[in-house]
Amino acid sequence: MTPEGFAAMKKQLAELKALRVGISREIEVAREHGDLKENAEYHAAKDKQGISEAHIRDMEDKLSRAEVIDPATLGGDRVKFGATVDLEDVESGQAVTYRIVGADESNIDEGTISVTSPVGRALINKEAGDEVRVKAPGGIRVYEVQNVRW
């Protein structure tokens, strides 16, 4: 995980923990409405609490096991974790840029892909000029590595 991804996950965890108080209040208010067997508000609040607590436990586990790697300390001509890679689709000529990050911090809309994704795995150890074949839902895609940046 990158330092940025680690910090973002810690922030998200803190926000989730802050929601605990509000969920507890929702449960208290719903409990005051009477019979808990037929109280939909109460059951919805309890479900919300269960989902939130499971998410908190999952994030705490991931953060405790995370290996933080600072890409600023890395470099070289080959694609590795943390690299930013400029690619060109050989068939269409379309250029794309991806940063290789951990699975929990990848977001295709932000131009980050997981090191364990099909494209990420195919790019590892490639360098500028190499062609990469990726099995995609629409068939085999071929990319040429244009540049590797840090």
The predicted-structure confidence for 70-123, as pLDDT tens digits, reads as follows 877 777 889 999 999 999 999 999 999 999 999 999 999 999 999 999 999 999
Q: How far apart are CA 3 and CA 72, in angstroms?
A: 10
On the question of pLDDT at 147 being above 80, the answer is yes
As annotated, the residues of the chain forming the CATH 3.10.50.30 domain(s) are 71-149
- Angle (nearest 5°) at CA 116 between 131 and 16: 140
Domain 3-65 in CATH 1.10.287.180? The answer is yes
On the question of pLDDT at 25 being above 90, the answer is yes
pLDDT number for residue 59: 95
The contacts of residue 20 (CB under 8 Å, 6+ apart) are 49, 52
Instruction: Scan for tokens 């929702």, then name that residue.
Output: 26
As annotated, the residues of the chain forming the CATH 1.10.287.180 domain(s) are 3-65
Q: How far apart are CA 115 and CA 148, in angstroms?
A: 15
Predicted TM-score (pTM) of the model is 0.70
In this prediction, residue 64 has a pLDDT band, given cuts at 50, 70 and 90, of very high
Domain 71-149 in CATH 3.10.50.30? The answer is yes
